[in-house]
Amino acid sequence: MSAIRVLVTNQKGGVGKSTIAANLAAYLAIQNNTQVHLIDFDKQSSSSQWVTKAPDIGLKVFPANLSYEDRGSLVLAEAKRYLYKFSTDCEISISDLTWTYAIPSEFMLEFDFLLIPSATSKFEMASSEIFILKYIENYLSQIKSMGQKILAVPSRVDQSFQPEQAFLNILNIEHCSLTPPIYLVPTIDNLVYEDFLCVSSSADVAKNFSIFGEHIAKLITEKMIAKKNGSPTHHAIKRSSNFSVLDKYRIERENEGGNNASPMSGWIPNFLLKK
């Protein structure tokens, strides 16, 4: 079975995209010893740096250095080549890409899941909604046929965030849904590269990211089973009812003998609205 491919992207920077990509890859790898590849399309390589500087959990990272001087079909072919090459010999690949229109938007059709992180300011929500809407309008039939899921990720939001009061348009667009929020961490600079968020020394941070990670893991499991035509599969991510990913990770680290444990409205076309 081919790998499940996840793209974490948005055209706007500073929304936590690389943080989400690196830490989601780590969560999925830790949770059930799943073989995960992180493909870093970003020039800044922020997600790669997190993985290489955090404790080694066997997560493989691959830089995909696109030639953005090329445009259209050339850069599309190059992006696909990297994706195919680095999505082999794994169960899940997570790609980190700050979206640029130098790449034709059909590249997004190569993925089973699109994760679109966005803060909740009116400008950023509107930008993210338009980004998603334009993509769906262009490729609606393909999205339907492949069963692609488009997930808006409320990122760096306050803990008082209420999903029913934000992202109203996204919630009404067919094929879209909202993930659990990822809260703003004022001390994030102290946590970067120290360890992965799901096993952070801050219990609140670990719990918050693990809730997000578990939501994505469940969707990936469902996709894996669907690819197997509903038959049971050992590739599906299994969750323990007794131990959280944090518990399991720390126990395994200790067993290894190491000491490192630690709102707009009314603008959506009717044919895109959820029935």
Give, for 59, the enclosing helix (H) or strand (E): none
Please report the pLDDT score of residue 239 as a whole number.
43
Report the CATH number at residue 173.
Answer: 3.40.50.300
pLDDT bucket at 256, cuts 50 / 70 / 90: low
| pLDDT digits 0-9 by tens, 83-142 | 999 999 999 999 999 998 889 999 999 999 999 999 888 888 888 888 999 999 999 999
Nearest partner of 69 among 107, 103, 105, judged by Cα: 103
| pLDDT digits 0-9 by tens, 206-230 | 999 999 999 999 999 999 999 887 5
Domain that holds residue 99: 4-272
Percent of the chain clearing pLDDT 90 (strictly above): 55
Nearest partner of 96 among 123, 133, 59, 121, judged by Cα: 59
Which position has the higher pLDDT, 62 or 32? Answer: 62
Number of domains composing the chain: 1
Task: Provide the 10 A C-beta neighbour count for residue 211.
Answer: 14
- What whole-number distance in Å separates Cα of residue 182 and Cα of residue 211? 9
- C-alpha dihedral over 245, 111, 156, 247, to 10 degrees? 0
Query: Which residues are CB-neighbours of 261 under 8 A, at least 6 positions away?
Result: 250, 253, 254
* Mean local confidence (pLDDT), 167-175: 79
- What whole-number distance in Å separates Cα of residue 3 and Cα of residue 230? 17
Please report the pLDDT score of residue 251 as a whole number.
59
What are residue 139's phi and psi, to 5 degrees?
A: -130, 35
Residue 238 has pLDDT above 60, yes or no: no
Task: State whether residue 146 is helix, strand or coil.
Answer: helix
Beta strands in the chain (DSSP E): 4-10, 36-40, 60-63, 92-98, 113-118, 149-157, 176-178, 182-183
Please report the pLDDT score of residue 2 as a whole number.
87
Please report the pLDDT score of residue 232 as a whole number.
39
Please report the pLDDT score of residue 147 as a whole number.
93
Question: What is the model's pTM?
Answer: 0.85
Please report the pLDDT score of residue 153 as a whole number.
95
- What whole-number distance in Å separates Cα of residue 114 and Cα of residue 124? 17
Query: Which residues are CB-neighbours of 178 under 8 A, at least 6 positions away?
Result: 151, 152, 154, 163, 167, 170, 171
* Mean pLDDT taken over the chain: 84
| pLDDT digits 0-9 by tens, 138-153 | 999 999 999 999 999 9
